[in-house]
Amino acid sequence: MRKIGLLVLCLVAMMLPEVKAQRYNNGLVDKTIALVGNEMIMLSELESEVMNMKARGYTSTGKDIRCEVLESMMEDCLFLMQARLDSVSVNMDYIQVQLEDYVANMVANFGGIEPMETYFGKKEYQLRTEWLEMFTEMSMKQEMQREIRSKVKELTPSQVRDYYRNVPQDSLPIISTQYKYRQIVLYPDKEAAAMEAKERLLEFRQRILDGTSFAMLATMYSQDPGSAIRGGDLGMVSKSIFWPEFSDAASMLKDNQVSPIVETPDGFHLIQMIEQTQDMMHVRHILIKPYYGDDQRQAAFKRLDSLRNLVLADSLSFYDAARFNSEDAKSRTNGGLVADEQYTGSSYFEVDMLKPADYKQLQGLSAGEISEPFESTDNEGRGNLVYKIVQLEEVVPAHPAAFEQDFPVLLQEANERAAQKKIQDFLNEKIATTYIVIDPLFQGCDFKRAGWLGK
């Protein structure tokens, strides 16, 4: 069975109404509602999309949502039809990973395989077969769209200038306020904090072995608020949703057995196995995160304040202070200058790209000023505590994109518009040249593209 692609799911999911098993026209259960070339869309597929979206947590009260979904499905058919003609290849290994993640999330949402099977009225292997086809076709459509978009040559600077001159000023992208800054970062003593967390868990483990309830200790002391209120219970879920260190350690346990201390990026854990199957497990855990006390904070602040005073007294430049004292390896080599190395490589940050604690300090500074020491998190993606001072180098106020100042943004915008036009031209051409039949049930739909009903 064909399933609507996830990109389409994202577009329409928030608008689908609640649907149960439905019958049409005095008992008709299923029928072909659209034929696009040699691709068929069944009524059951349309309704199946509603169930899939409900399962993903989407709700809506839209009146004509089935018309919107059907049009999206027919557009998908055009891409898929061309992909088949062009023998577009896809990465089946990646598709398999997507499938496993999707199944794991579904099972977790329903609280087990049986409730999921009951909801869909199908066995897991049947759902896997359908979802594998869904992801395969989705990948084929996406690859087809990439091929269409790739036919747009990147615009030259003169073409971008023409775009900039011809687009209405109120249609230009707005560049948000941007900050350029330097930082000096100090980490707390992780070893001492980790040792303290482990000692607490060793105490808890011994108490459990001596007969104290794991659930009671989890409720009282675990720093995972979502599970602590349930005695540390994480429910019956797929092993794949946990950090590998966590799932590997848990998988080695027998029922009711308690693990040694397990370290993950979230902190340190004790795990108690309740039950497990081949791919699923039901465990409790107690999470303790490393704690950094006032003595560490005061020592770091004292050192940062000393560096700040040296810079303010012109005894040391912020650049050199960062190079020789900052513990952030990436910014230290550039004299503390912070850059978005993961995405843009730029040293200019919009507000939503900044750490909240950093923004709070930067917005109160003028160019060249240095903040007082404060707590923040690092840039490693795991929210590790750091202490820092920042120096504001430049603020670029919000403004409509300008040609020279914001050329990369305008280039991206112009290229995207050209690519979207290529996609729209493809769809309009295929609608005009493809045999399309739509069931009378949907003849009254107000489709975005009038050509659907012009057959």
Check residue 16 and give its pLDDT: 30
Side-by-side strand order, sheet with 385-396: 349-350, 178-186, 385-396, 374-377
pLDDT at 54: 65
| pLDDT score of 235 more than 70 | yes
Structure token pair of residue 305: 């304040």
Q: Do 6-152+422-453 and 177-188+293-397 show the same overall fold?
A: no
Overall CATH class of domain 177-188+293-397: alpha beta
Please tell me the predicted confidence (pLDDT) of residue 239: 84
Record the tokens describing residue 54, joined without a space.
């409900």
Q: What is the average per-residue pLDDT within 49-67? A: 64
pLDDT at 4 exceeding the cut of 50: no
| pLDDT of 10 strictly over 50 | no
Instruction: Identify whether the C-beta of residue 290 lies closer than 8 Å to the C-beta of residue 200.
Output: no
* Structural domain boundaries in the chain: 6-152+422-453, 177-188+293-397, 191-288
What would the two tokens of residue 159 be?
């073409």
Q: Is the pLDDT score of 25 beyond 80?
A: no
Cα 270 to Cα 69, 247, 281: the distances in Å are 47, 12, 15
Query: What pLDDT does residue 288 have?
Result: 95
Asked if the model's pLDDT at residue 17 lies above 60, the reply is: no
Calculate mean pLDDT across residues 296-313. Answer: 95
Statement: residue 271 has pLDDT above 90: yes
Residue 265: is its pLDDT beyond 90?
no
**Phi/psi of residue 56, each to 5°?**
-90, 0
Least reliable range by pLDDT among 55-69, 89-103, 342-356: 55-69
Average pLDDT over residues 228-256: 91
In CATH, the number for domain 191-288 is 3.10.50.40
What is the chain's Cα-based Rg? Answer: 28
43-57 mean pLDDT: 72
Tokens 């992208």, residue located = 173
Which CATH number, 1.10.4030, 1.10.760, 3.10.20, 3.40.50, labels domain 6-152+422-453?
1.10.4030
Least confident of 22-26, 191-195, 235-239, 246-250: 22-26
Of the candidates 11, 138, 41, the one whose C-alpha atom is nearest the C-alpha of residue 442 is 41
Q: Is residue 12 predicted with pLDDT exceeding 70? A: no
Looking at residue 306, its pLDDT comes to 97
The whole-chain average pLDDT of the chain stands at 86
How far apart, in whole angstroms, are the C-alpha atoms of residue 447 and residue 71? 7
For the chain, percent of residues with pLDDT exceeding 70: 89
Residue 322 sits at φ, ψ, to 5 deg, of -70, -45
| Rounded average pLDDT over 16-24 | 36
Three-class HEC string of the chain:
CCCCCHHHHHHHHHHCCCCCCCCECCCECCCEEEEECCEEEEHHHHHHHHHHHHHCCCCCCCCCHHHHHHHHHHHHHHHHHHHHHCCCCCCHHHHHHHHHHHHHHHHHHHCCHHHHHHHHCCCHHHHHHHHHHHHHHHHHHHHHHHHHHHCCCCCCHHHHHHHHHHCCHHHCCEECCEEEEEEEEECCCHHHHHHHHHHHHHHHHHHHHCCCCHHHHHHHHCCCHHHHCCCCEEEEEEHHHCCHHHHHHHHCCCCCCECCCEEECCEEEEEEEEEECCCEEEEEEEEECCCCCHHHHHHHHHHHHHHHHHHHCCCCCHHHHHHHHCCCHHHHCCCCECCCCCCCCCCCEEHHHCCHHHHHHHCCCCCCCECCCEEEECCCCCCCEEEEEEEEEEEECCEECCCCCCHHHHHHHHHHHHHHHHHHHHHHHHHHHCCEEECHHHCCCCCCCHHHHCC
Q: Looking at per-residue confidence, does 133 or 455 come out higher?
A: 133
Tell me the mean pLDDT in the region 219-246: 90
Report d(CA 27, CA 251) in Å as an integer. 49
pLDDT tens digits, one per residue of 114-164: 888 898 888 988 999 989 998 999 999 999 999 999 888 888 899 899 888
Range in 18-32, 179-193, 280-294 with the lowest mean pLDDT = 18-32
Contact between residue 289 and residue 265 where contact means Cβ atoms under 8 Å apart: no
What pLDDT does 287 receive? Answer: 96
Per-residue model confidence as pLDDT tens digits over 375-426: 998 876 566 789 999 999 999 999 999 888 888 888 888 999 899 999 999 9
Residue 84 pLDDT greater than 70, yes or no: yes
From first CA to last CA, the distance across the chain in angstroms is 25
**pLDDT(66) > 80:** no
pLDDT, average across residues 337-350: 85
